[in-house]
Structure 1
Amino acid sequence: METTACNGSGHSSTIFYLVGIPSLPKSLFLPIFFVFLLLYLLILLGNTLILVAVVTDTRLHKPMYFFLINLSALDILFTTTTVPKMLSLLWLGDRFLSFPACFLQMYLFHSFSCSEAFILVVMAYDRYVAICRPLRYRVLMTPHTNVALATCAWLSAFLLPIPAVVQTSHLAFDNTAHIYHCFCDHLAVVQASCSDTTPQTFMGFCIAMVVSFLPFLLVLLSYAHILASVLRISSREGCSRAFCTCSSHLLVVGTYYSSIAIAYVAYRADLPLDFHVMGNVVYAVLTPVLNPLIYTLRNKDVKAAITRMTCPRDPKNVGKP
């Protein structure tokens, strides 16, 4: 790999400087800090409520909700990887990251992102079996199968980003490398290098296609079968019930891939750098904050479980009208 001259003497001495949003006035740092703090607290609260409700309520010990708690755990981990550093940047002006910290953040950010895409595919498969193979649902979606599917989703996602992260770590950087982003995103780190970055950019693009486009096709395939089965249902009540079982997941999938589309267009289109950064920030925050809202507002079982957990009935009033 050919490299241009760098001032850095080695990776151990490289410090990454997060530029953030370049044209953002300092007067807006505090208001934006409180906006992101509020969103982060909503993500933690909403997803923790779902986790506790599903784990403690035996009525929710079903495959669909088992995958839901995986999704909630991922949303908490995904945002915790990036948002606290963004808050620190806005509040304290803390823009520096060591070489290991930057690459750990990059690896975890992309691993959790991949995990979410794969869990959404597994949830789509669960809905496919529930609607298209209802008589075999209990046979196909056993606890052992559910754990195996979730484990495969997590392990695959933790393995896929490794080649890109390792190759990027071998690039040459100045002693102080400026990252035009709010956190260590792969493409932003690659662009901060003074090496030939073409192979890393191409590899990052290929991995992004594998972990976003391929899962999206699998989700579409599942819902094509679901739609075909629903259209064969003669009763309007049956169609409505089938649609209701998928509506929350469809909204989550729509939100997730809409945020990916925003981030992708922001990177690829000829837009100012601020739009590139904000596109990825929207992707990092939008889905995790909307997921708990979607599942608590549209899913009667989850809503009822959270209500029972947060507002327990007085035993003395049980049985009274």
Structure 2
Amino acid sequence: MQYKEMKAEDNVSSVTQFVLLGFSDLPNFQGLLFALFFTVYMIILIGNSLIIIITRLDPTLQKPMYFFLANFSLLEICYVSVILPRILKNLWTQDRMISRLGCATQLCFFLIFAATECFLLAVMSYDRYVAICNPLHYPLVMNHRMCVQLAVGAWVIGIPVQIGQTCQIFSLHFCNSNQVNHFFCDIPPILKLACGDTFVHELSVYVVAMLFVAVPFILILISYGKIISTILRLPTASGRAKAFSTCSSHLIVVFLFFGSATITYLRPKSSHSAGTDKLLSLFYTIVTPMFNPLIYSLRNKDVIAALQRLFFKKIAFFFMRNVS
């Protein structure tokens, strides 16, 4: 399908629609990509939904750690649902047009959920810090009210800033092109289409990225610095191994998400390339949410045991119903 490309000589105010090029450079693989992304989306929905269900239903998982894990799984579902359904629609229909408002809405929700993920990962690291470094005070410090306050804070803290940043970006005039060389409306490819000097807008992106990416990451590093120091002082090897196992899953997710996001948003504009941006974006928008349920379930004995109990309970209910 051919699309009209807006050029610099066109009326800058006439850019009311963008074209998400996505994976249009792979015309022979559109069906395969649709099947792949659809499968990934189902894995993310089912895997994260299972974690939410078992953390709500299993009495042994009524702990702050699993309360935050349920929030994290819900966030992952929201996060990928901003991006993947649009990718699937584009691949299925080959209609890659998106309105300016639709593009702004997608970017705004993506930024809000990404900011939430950064701070929720920081909250989860604080939970592990209190559990390992102050175990006697853990029930008192991480009570239900504190958990709810931390979770709500993580969900809402980025809303006003990211709405403001989205409005600022889409107040620009776009005259270089209307073709977004990406699979969703992200900041770097959108700024490439803007007319004139975008230095102030790029600077604001760096400032917000430092606030919502670098600050939580530093807090996580501080928490894990204290955690590792405490673990190394434990008298037994089995105690150290158990403590490390409760943190390893979270650390893997942290480095997967923050690593790709930091490279994307904090490297100079001159070093941006469409192919690299797409590859990095796939990591923090799709790959990480897909592996999160596997990382947390396969490396957590309590979650595995809860899944087994839920599975056997469903089998027993099925047989009892058929027998009667």
Give the TM-score, by structure 1 length.
0.90
CA gap of 1:257–1:70, structure 2 versus 1, over 3 A, is same
Shift of 1:281: 2.5
Map of 1:120 onto structure 2:
121
Asked if structure 1 preserves the Cα contact closer than 8 Å seen for 2:209 and 2:265, the reply is no
Give the counterpart letter for 1:94 in structure 2: D
Map of 2:297 onto structure 1:
296
Q: Deviations over 1:7-48 (max 9, x none)?
A: 1446xx6111112246x2200122122111111111001000
Q: Distance in 2 between matches of 1:226 and 1:304?
A: 26
Map of 2:169 onto structure 1:
168
Q: Deviations over 1:125-174 (max 9, x none)?
A: 00000010000001100000000011111111222312211111211135
Asked if structure 2 preserves the Cα contact closer than 8 Å seen for 1:14 and 1:175, the reply is no
Match of 1:16 among 15, 18, 27: 18
Asked if structure 2 preserves the Cα contact closer than 8 Å seen for 1:128 and 1:222, the reply is yes
Give the TM-score, by structure 2 length.
0.89
Map of 1:235 onto structure 2:
236
Shift of 1:106: 0.2
Shift of 1:6: 5.1
Q: Distance in 2 between matches of 1:199 and 1:73?
A: 35
Map of 2:11 onto structure 1:
7
Matches within 5 A, 1:59-74: 59-74=60-75
Map of 1:54 onto structure 2:
55
Give secondary structure in 2 for the equivalent of 1:94: coil
Asked if structure 1 preserves the Cα contact closer than 8 Å seen for 2:9 and 2:175, the reply is no
Map of 1:136 onto structure 2:
137
Give secondary structure in 1 for the equivalent of 2:18: strand
Shift of 1:211: 1.4
Map of 2:4 onto structure 1:
none
Give secondary structure in 2 for the equivalent of 1:173: coil
Asked if structure 1 preserves the Cα contact closer than 8 Å seen for 2:44 and 2:289, the reply is yes
Q: Distance in 2 between matches of 1:243 and 1:269?
A: 40
Q: Distance in 2 between matches of 1:269 and 1:191?
A: 11
Greater displacement, 262-271 / 294-303: 262-271
Q: Distance in 2 between matches of 1:232 and 1:286?
A: 35
CA gap of 1:271–1:169, structure 2 versus 1, over 3 A, is closer
For structure 1, which runs of at least 5 residues remain unmatched after alignment? none
Asked if structure 1 preserves the Cα contact closer than 8 Å seen for 2:206 and 2:265, the reply is no
Asked if structure 2 preserves the Cα contact closer than 8 Å seen for 1:15 and 1:177, the reply is yes
Matches within 5 A, 1:1-321: 7-9=11-13, 14-21=16-23, 24-174=25-175, 177-261=178-262, 263-264=264-265, 270=271, 272-312=273-313, 314=316
Give secondary structure in 2 for the equivalent of 1:97: strand
Shift of 1:258: 3.1
Greater displacement, 203-212 / 48-57: 203-212
Asked if structure 2 preserves the Cα contact closer than 8 Å seen for 1:263 and 1:282, the reply is no
Give the counterpart letter for 1:217 in structure 2: I
Q: Distance in 2 between matches of 1:94 and 1:175?
A: 21
Q: Distance in 2 between matches of 1:175 and 1:241?
A: 56
User: Percent same amino acid among aligned pairs?
Assistant: 37
CA gap of 1:135–1:243, structure 2 versus 1, over 3 A, is same
Give secondary structure in 2 for the equivalent of 1:314: helix
Q: Deviations over 1:86-120 (max 9, x none)?
A: 11112211211112211110000011011011000
Q: Distance in 2 between matches of 1:101 and 1:161?
A: 16
Q: Distance in 2 between matches of 1:124 and 1:82?
A: 27
Give secondary structure in 1 for the equivalent of 2:234: coil
Shift of 1:239: 1.1
Greater displacement, 257-266 / 157-166: 257-266
Q: Distance in 2 between matches of 1:247 and 1:276?
A: 28
Task: State the superposition RMSD in angstroms.
Answer: 2.3
Greater displacement, 141-150 / 196-205: 196-205
